[in-house]
Amino acid sequence: MTALAPAGAVGALFVYELRDGSRIVSDHALNEPGSQLIRRSVAAEGAGHLLAHRAIETPVRDPASYDRLIRRTAVAHNVDAWLVKAVVHAESGFDPHAVSRVGASGLMQLMPATAKRYGVEDIFDPSQNVAGGVRYLRDLLRLFKNDVRLAVAAYNAGEGAVQRHRGVPPYSETRQYVTKVLEFRNRYRQRATAQADAQRVQIARAAAGNGR
């Protein structure tokens, strides 16, 4: 039986159900009207099951909300920022408190062992989570000689599965995941290019107008 921790205790996890039926996990007590405390514990075990007690489509929050963090971290580790953003989108829908059925947590859904491997102390802290996830993605890209499809597949199924099958594993979930991530990456990249082109046109028009 899991011992309950007093409210506000260091390391405590709180699982709440919100008015819309969605559930979130927090490292502190919430004071949000309409939220209901489902569990308070010092252990993460079982939190994923509580959050995923039924099939739920992760609501996508503002896709631009973590752009600066993603871009800064990706550049620091020489990883494509649009790929990182696509992985965040596919993994958590930009929800820093997301927890999966198997216990992967945060924006880039790090497993506890992966978080420990990359020195992530607070898995729900966006900066630490993205830093750990980007470093893991960087290592996967290096391992698979910059083959993005294989690196993304390994992020989902594990590098061992990719090596064992000598390619994207024949798991429907992994194949769908790879397709989704690459589609997200292309979408974000094309959108950024279109915005940059539009800005250049506006600047050119403004310059032409000032030259009259």
**Residue 82 has which token pair?**
């649009």
**Residue 47 has which token pair?**
């939190």
**Residue 58 has which token pair?**
């992760």
φ, ψ dihedrals at 177, nearest 5°: -65, -45
Among 17, 91, 121, 173, the one annotated catalytic? 91
d(CA 56, CA 120): 27
d(CA 135, CA 187): 23
d(CA 86, CA 135): 15
**Residue 180 has which token pair?**
């989704």
Q: Is 91 a catalytic residue?
A: yes
Are the beta carbons of 155 and 84 closer than 8 angstroms?
A: no
**Residue 40 has which token pair?**
């308070």
Are the beta carbons of 85 and 184 closer than 8 angstroms?
A: yes
Are the beta carbons of 96 and 129 closer than 8 angstroms?
A: yes
Neighbours of 29 (CB within 10 A): 14
Residues annotated catalytic, as ranges: 91
